[in-house]
Structure 1
Amino acid sequence: MAGDTRDRMIDATVEALRRRGVAGMSFTEVLRDSGAARGAIYHHFPGGKGQLVAEAASRNGRDVRANLAALPADDPLALVESFLALIRPVVECSATGSGCAVAAVTIASGEPAENASLREVAATAFASWTDALAARLRVSGLAPDAATDLATTLLALLEGAQVLCRAEGSVAPFDRMTRTALDLTRTRYAAR
């Protein structure tokens, strides 16, 4: 059961990071949403908020990486279409005020050492996403450099779309980006 409490606290932290970022999330919110007792905070996370946030962002990063690694790789266009379908619900949530838990830790405010540690967590997660997506693109037939370039572009699309959709309160920026990403893939990478 102790693992369940810890897992629920991490899950609640991921959601809090998506909604309010590091500065806006609170232990009170995490405890309420996880159903954990107040004493659970320092029992499970003796490093306090910094440890809890780092572990939540790391877990979220691993979960996203697993989803990317499972994308079908029949051909580059099919893979990009699958990627866009996978991320659409995430971006739709952004239009109503949510965001990326991993990106949230890159803009954390606090002590410089803690910020550097959190940025390292984010950098590791983003690199793993790029690697997983590039690996699938290589399986679909792209050369290694082209696969890494397209993977980086798609992830930048994901993160940028979340920001633009949140600002506009609409999924329209994502729809425009989707059309361009598909056109780019068709003209540059399809039928290789």
Structure 2
Amino acid sequence: MARGSRERIITGAVGMLARGGTKHTSVRKLAEQAGTPLGSTYYYFPDGMAQLVNEAVEHAGGQVTSALECALAAGPLRGLSGLIGWWRRILVASEFEEGCPVLSIAVTESRNGPTQQAVESASRVFRQWSEALVDSLVLHGVERDRAEEVATLTVCSIEGSVGVCRAEGSTRALDHVESMLVRAIADALPEEERP
């Protein structure tokens, strides 16, 4: 039971971060949403909001990393399609209210503030996503230096486009990014690996 309550609080924090960052994340609201007493949040997260936000970033990052690695098993182009499709579904289903909780922390929190550990976790998560793409590209014949450039371009483009999609209330930016990233990845692949 305790483990379930703790996980519900973390999952709730991921959702709140995705919708509004730490300024809209409240321990009281999280406890209510998880159906746990307010005091239990301090039991599960003795270091308070900073610990909770960090664990939410790690949780969200791990979920995306797992989904990305599964999608990339079919190759870099199919992996890209799977990742973009995943984001498209989240944006549309949330009526463009949810973005990336990892990016939310990276752009709103200080590397020297109380949520420093969460910002460091966000940095690690972005590297994990890039490394998963690099590994897939290298496996399919792309030289490592080029694979690192394409992976960085991919992660940064998708993350940025999700923010633009939220602001516009449309998938237009993500659709355009997908089109350009397909070209960038296809151009990086050896001829025999291209569609």
- TM-score, normalised to structure 1, is 0.89
Q: Distance in 2 between matches of 1:152 and 1:180?
A: 14
Question: What CA RMSD, in Å, does the superposition of the two structures yield over aligned residues?
Answer: 2.2
Greater CA drift, 77-86 or 14-23 = 77-86
Contact 2:109 2:119 (8 Å CA) reproduced: no
Q: Distance in 1 between matches of 2:78 and 2:109?
A: 40
| Mapping for residues 119-138 of structure 1, pairs under 5 Å | 119-138=119-138
Q: Distance in 1 between matches of 2:27 and 2:166?
A: 25
One-letter amino acid of the structure 2 residue matched with residue 145 of structure 1:
D
- TM-score, normalised to structure 2, is 0.87
Structure 1 pair 104/67, CA: closer, same or farther in 2 (3 Å)?
same
1:158 corresponds in structure 2 to 158
Q: Distance in 1 between matches of 2:32 and 2:108?
A: 22
- Find out whether 1:40 has 2:40 as its counterpart: yes
Q: Distance in 2 between matches of 1:47 and 1:126?
A: 24
Structure 1 pair 127/72, CA: closer, same or farther in 2 (3 Å)?
closer
One-letter amino acid of the structure 2 residue matched with residue 123 of structure 1:
S
Count of matched residue positions in the alignment of Structure 1 and Structure 2: 192
1:2 corresponds in structure 2 to 2
2:106 corresponds in structure 1 to 106
One-letter amino acid of the structure 2 residue matched with residue 138 of structure 1:
V
One-letter amino acid of the structure 1 residue matched with residue 49 of structure 2:
K
Q: Distance in 2 between matches of 1:11 and 1:35?
A: 13
1:114 aligned counterpart, secondary structure: coil
One-letter amino acid of the structure 2 residue matched with residue 78 of structure 1:
R
| Mapping for residues 81-100 of structure 1, pairs under 5 Å | 81-92=81-92, 96-100=96-100
2:68 corresponds in structure 1 to 68
Structure 1 pair 28/170, CA: closer, same or farther in 2 (3 Å)?
same
1:170 aligned counterpart, secondary structure: coil
| Mapping for residues 166-185 of structure 1, pairs under 5 Å | 166-185=166-185
- Find out whether 1:27 has 2:27 as its counterpart: yes
Q: Distance in 2 between matches of 1:20 and 1:139?
A: 37
1:71 aligned counterpart, secondary structure: helix
**Any idea what the Cα deviations from partners look like across 1:69-99, whole Å, max 9, x if unmatched?**
1224454433333333333223435762211
Q: Distance in 1 between matches of 2:141 and 2:79?
A: 11
Contact 2:111 2:119 (8 Å CA) reproduced: no
Structure 1 pair 132/58, CA: closer, same or farther in 2 (3 Å)?
same
Q: Distance in 2 between matches of 1:160 and 1:49?
A: 26
Q: Distance in 2 between matches of 1:180 and 1:164?
A: 16
Contact 1:74 1:140 (8 Å CA) reproduced: no
Structure 1 pair 78/134, CA: closer, same or farther in 2 (3 Å)?
same
Contact 2:53 2:115 (8 Å CA) reproduced: no
Percentage of matched positions with identical amino acids: 28
One-letter amino acid of the structure 2 residue matched with residue 169 of structure 1:
G
One-letter amino acid of the structure 2 residue matched with residue 163 of structure 1:
G
Q: Which structure exhibits the higher relative contact order, with contacts defined as CA atoms closer than 8 Å and separated by 6 or more residues? A: 1
